[in-house]
């Protein structure tokens, strides 16, 4: 029997930015040829790049803080957590709270010196790296009015880099000024903070950024103000992202060695899985001099030929074209899903068909039976089981109704897998505003992450719509039932009978029948004993008719008004209708024998059979049945009052 591969989980946030996306790609590449499976739990956020739009959805990015909890459903042997990229959630939930919801397994924490359990930490020497940039601006270029765009609050990387900035200012006797600092969030959408910084300190000589991503925003703002980077104002970054060397001018920065960082994480993980001893590490961050700081680099050869960069750009263009096409198809999928909200199986199957269209090797959709309502600043209490509502492998896919869906349990109880177990994959959270539904797991390459993230947002919205539609359908059904039910007897009222009769017209039947029934002497009962007594007689009559006739898809019964009752039927024999009328008489006699009411409850009835092809045919049958009822009424007793012997 083939032994199970070791499974590594990787929790990472803020994926849409350069640093985490490079980490995912590199760790994925390093592990793809190892005898392990990698499950990536992807968080991202929209607040930073949706600032200019009046949208509410970006207020719920805190939902991604729950992703770490989903790792409890996977049978993982080791967990890697990119603590630094979870910074956007840590304003409300500290790192310790995140880790409390992860499996009790060996854990490698990246971008922090915090150690969890028996695990280790891996962190760049952020303080030294940022200090190198500030040192260069002061000692080489003689600059003193140096502004700073910080990283997010409660982020270990950001705290260390800020400390490096202050260290070098103090070393050279330059006072630290609060007004020189702008709050950033590690995204390229910090224009507002940079604008405010330049308004406060218009004579800045340099801006040091806590990461490269924010320098895109800094370049943009300076360009709008007519300031030339490297000439009018110096700019430095941190990370050495892919495009840093191709910016105009090329960006001076501190190089976070992603290759070394990823290798360190993977090597440590593999050693830990083998039971070898591994220690925490702090990686060096070299200073990279280019032109944005004011250096003249004209006599320095290019770091690398342009062709790799051009090749990378061509790849990006091709990926963007594929992304655009898939986005169009994704919009059609969303429309298709909305059309299927009344049929969960077809709804989930439509997702499987789309994943197959994308040539996804395998995917599955895991949903809670009821959505979790997640409040800001909290991680939900996860139920013991989650339902696998869709599974796809290659061109095979299948959606399930809730009562037939396979189940995953938090204790890792195995499920029968018709398509086989999924190996390495990406996990995308499904939510809409504060409601959380589950996850989409997909065996995809990292270059498909952006599109699948967009798809997960659409699926989350569609699940919310389906949930609301189901609730409304239930409410409508309850209201319709009330509107079509006679409040006194519980039978169909006139509207309910007509509605049921209309449904019968569409059925193929040779013969149809109509039975009319009346409570005898209702007026006498009301006049002599009061309307409450009349109501009691009507309820008793309804019970007798319900027992004698019954209700099913072939025959319905209702109160048509006052003392009148009616029954429509299809595919019922004439002999059956005769038996029912006889039974009505038997039940009336039985009721009166045991009743202590001062009046009789007796029912007259008549029926006819005929062929029904259209609505008018029913009306003709009703007229004929009414004539039969009139004949039966001639046989009713003259007085309804019961005479008791003295």
pLDDT by residue (tens digit) across 385-398?
Answer: 999 999 999 989 99
Q: In this predicted structure, what is the pLDDT of residue 414?
A: 46
Fold of 494-633: Alpha-Beta Plaits (3.30.70)
Q: Quick one: angle between helices 531-549 and 522-529, nearest 10? A: 150
Which of the residue ranges 9-23, 43-57, 332-346 would you say has the lowest mean pLDDT?
A: 43-57
Write the CB contacts of 572 (distance below 8 Å, at least 6 apart in sequence): 511, 513, 554, 555
Within 13 Å, how many C-alpha atoms sit on residue 422's CB side? 25
List pLDDT tens digits, range 23-69.
899 999 999 889 999 999 988 765 554 454 444 445 667 787 788 88
pLDDT band at 405 (very low <50, low <70, confident <90, very high): very high
Given a cut of 90, is residue 354 above it in pLDDT?
Answer: no
- The predicted-structure confidence for 91-142, as pLDDT tens digits, reads as follows 667 888 888 888 889 999 998 888 998 899 999 999 999 999 999 999 999 9
Tell which residue, 635, 632, 634, has the closest CA to residue 516: 632
Q: What is the pLDDT of residue 466?
A: 87
Cis peptide before 240 (omega within 30 of 0): no
Q: Are 557 and 546 in contact (CB under 8 A)?
A: yes
pLDDT of residue 7: 93
Q: Would the pLDDT of 419 be above 70? A: no
Give the tens place of pLDDT for each residue, 609-641. 988 887 788 888 999 999 998 888 888 888 888
Per-residue pLDDT reduced to its tens digit, 133-177: 999 999 999 999 999 999 988 888 899 999 999 999 999 999 999
**Does residue 509 register a pLDDT over 80?**
no
Query: Are 206 and 180 a contacting pair, CB within 8 Å?
Result: no
Query: What would the mean pLDDT of 290-303 be, rounded to a whole number?
Result: 80
Confidence category of residue 644, pLDDT binned at 50, 70, 90: very low
Read off the pLDDT band of 494 (50, 70, 90): confident
Residues 553-577, mean pLDDT to the nearest whole number: 89
Q: Does the reported pTM lie above 0.85?
A: no
Q: Tell me what pLDDT residue 597 has.
A: 92
Mean pLDDT comparison of 181-190, 201-210, 301-310, highest-scoring range? 201-210
What is the rounded CA–CA span in Å between residue 544 and residue 586?
9
Domain ranges, ordered by start, for the chain: 494-633
Q: What confidence category does residue 533 fall into, taking pLDDT thresholds of 50, 70 and 90?
A: very high
Look at residue 237 in the predicted model and tell me its pLDDT: 97
Among the residue ranges 72-86, 201-215, 413-427, 562-576, the one predicted with the least confidence is: 413-427
Quote the CA–CA distance of 519 and 626 in Å, as a whole number.
14
514 pLDDT tier (thresholds 50, 70, 90) = very high
Query: Which band of pLDDT confidence, cut at 50, 70 and 90, is reported for residue 312?
Result: low
Of the two residues 410 and 534, the one the predictor is more confident about is 534
Q: Residue 229: what pLDDT? A: 96
Angle at 22 between CA 20 and CA 28, to 5 degrees: 100
DSSP, residue by residue, 19-34: HHHHHHHHHHHHHTTS
Higher model confidence: residue 372 or residue 420? 372
Is residue 483 predicted with pLDDT exceeding 50? yes
d(CA 46, CA 454): 11
| Backbone conformation region of residue 394, classed left if phi is above 0, alpha if psi is from -120 to 50, else beta | left
pLDDT of residue 415: 45
Q: Which two tokens stand for residue 200?
A: 């406060």
- Distance from chain centroid for Cα 499: 38
């Amino acid at each position: 029997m083939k032994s199970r591969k070791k499974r590594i989980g990787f929790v990472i946030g803020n994926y849409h930015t350069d640093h985490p996306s490079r980490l995912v790609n590199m760790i994925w590449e390093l592990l793809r040829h190892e005898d392990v499976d990698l499950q990536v739990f992807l968080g991202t956020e929209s607040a930073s790049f949706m600032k200019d739009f009046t949208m509410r959805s970006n207020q719920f990015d805190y939902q991604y803080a729950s992703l770490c909890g989903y790792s409890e459903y996977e049978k993982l042997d080791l967990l890697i957590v990119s603590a630094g990229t979870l910074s956007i959630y840590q304003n409300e939930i500290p790192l310790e709270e995140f880790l409390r919801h992860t499996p009790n397994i060996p854990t490698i924490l990246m971008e922090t010196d915090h150690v969890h359990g028996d695990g280790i930490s891996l962190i760049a020497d952020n303080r030294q790296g940022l200090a190198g940039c500030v040192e260069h601006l002061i000692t080489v270029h003689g600059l003193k009015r140096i502004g700073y765009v910080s990283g997010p609050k409660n982020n270990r990387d950001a705290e260390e880099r800020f400390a490096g900035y202050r260290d070098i200012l103090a070393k050279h006797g330059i006072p630290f000024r609060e007004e020189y600092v702008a709050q950033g969030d590690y995204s390229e959408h910090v224009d507002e903070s940079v604008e405010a910084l330049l308004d406060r300190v218009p004579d800045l000589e340099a801006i040091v950024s806590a990461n490269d991503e924010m320098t895109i925003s800094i370049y943009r703002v300076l360009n709008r103000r007519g300031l030339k980077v490297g000439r009018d104002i110096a700019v430095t970054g941190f990370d050495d992202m892919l495009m840093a060397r191709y910016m105009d001018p090329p960006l001076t920065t501190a190089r976070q060695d992603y290759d070394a960082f990823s290798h360190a994480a993977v090597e440590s993980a593999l050693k830990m899985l083998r039971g070898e001893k591994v220690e925490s590490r702090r990686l060096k961050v070299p200073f990279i001099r280019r032109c944005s700081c004011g250096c003249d680099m004209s006599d320095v050869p290019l770091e690398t030929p342009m062709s790799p960069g051009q090749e990378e750009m061509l790849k990006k263009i091709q990926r963007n074209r594929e992304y655009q096409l898939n986005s169009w198809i994704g919009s059609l999928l969303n429309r298709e899903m909305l059309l299927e909200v009344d049929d969960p199986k077809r709804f989930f199957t439509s997702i499987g068909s789309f994943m197959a269209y994308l040539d996804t090797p395998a995917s599955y959709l895991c949903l809670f039976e009821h959505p979790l309502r997640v409040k800001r600043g909290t991680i939900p209490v996860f139920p013991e089981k989650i339902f696998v509502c869709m599974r796809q492998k290659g061109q095979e896919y299948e959606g399930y109704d809730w009562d037939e869906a396979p189940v995953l349990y938090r204790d890792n109880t195995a499920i029968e897998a018709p398509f086989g177990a999924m190996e390495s994959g990406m996990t995308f959270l499904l939510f809409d505003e504060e409601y959380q539904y589950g996850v989409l797991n997909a065996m995809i390459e990292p270059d498909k992450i952006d599109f699948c993230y967009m798809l997960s947002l659409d699926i989350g919205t569609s699940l919310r719509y389906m949930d609301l539609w189901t609730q409304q359908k239930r409410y409508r059904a309850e209201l319709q039932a009330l509107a079509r039910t006679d409040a006194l007897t519980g039978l169909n009222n006139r509207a309910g009978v007509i509605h049921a009769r209309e449904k019968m017209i569409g059925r193929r039947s040779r013969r149809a029948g109509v039975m009319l029934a009346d409570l005898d002497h209702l007026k006498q009962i009301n006049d002599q004993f009061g309307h409450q007594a009349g109501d009691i007689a009507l309820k008793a009559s309804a019970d007798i008719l319900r027992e004698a006739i019954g209700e099913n898809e072939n025959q319905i019964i209702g109160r048509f008004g006052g003392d009148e009752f009616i029954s429509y039927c299809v595919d019922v024999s004439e002999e059956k209708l005769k038996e029912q009328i006889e039974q009505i008489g038997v039940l009336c006699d039985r009721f009166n024998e045991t009743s202590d009411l001062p009046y009789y409850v007796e029912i007259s009835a008549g029926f006819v059979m005929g062929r029904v092809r259209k609505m008018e045919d029913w009306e003709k049958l009703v007229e004929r049945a009414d004539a039969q009822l009139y004949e039966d009424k001639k046989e009713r007793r003259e007085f309804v009052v019961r005479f008791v012997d003295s």
